[in-house]
Amino acid sequence: MGRKIAWVLSLALLVFTGVVGIYNGVTEWDPSRTPVQKTVTAGVFLYGVIGLAAAYGLFRRRPWCVATAIAWAVAVTYVPGVAVMAFGGEDAIMSSAIAASAGSALIALGVVWTAYAMTRGDAQVVSADR
């Protein structure tokens, strides 16, 4: 039962970040931003696209979704910390950036673990009892 809850929560998170990431990546692109700010917007778009791909793979329980979830985790960990520094100006505090990225990394780790747990051979047998 615990794996199924983690599976549903991970799917919801991947789909949500996928849709919001693509939307924000497209609508917030501004050529007048600094190069670092542009990497944040590109990262948002990237975790949007990768998040939807990972959600599809996780839903279908495909083994490749683990690697896709890891790529999503890297993007979703990079963006918040850099965004604090890029958009915070002189008021930005390095510890805030570290905390933002660390929090995202912990959540992303849960999604990666779920992808791994749900695509192992023995998980297929457990999930067949749905």
Q: Find the mean pLDDT for residues 73-96.
A: 92
Determine the pLDDT at residue 128.
Answer: 53
CB atoms inside a 10 Å sphere around CB 62: 15
Count structural domains, the chain.
Answer: 1
Look at residue 56 and tell me whether its pLDDT is greater than 60.
Answer: yes
Say whether pLDDT at 125 is over 60: no
Domain that holds residue 102: 2-127
pLDDT band at 123 (very low <50, low <70, confident <90, very high): low
Query: In the chain, what percentage of residues exceed pLDDT 90?
Result: 78
Which of the 8 DSSP states describes residue 92?
-
Task: Decide if pLDDT at 37 tops 90.
Answer: yes
- By mean pLDDT, which of 9-13, 69-73, 121-125 is the weakest? 121-125
Tell me what pLDDT residue 31 has: 86
**pLDDT of 129 strictly over 60:** no
What pLDDT score does 127 carry?
A: 53
* 41, HSE (Cβ side, Cα atoms, 13 Å): 17
Burial class (CB in 10 A: 0-12, 13-18, 19+), 32: exposed
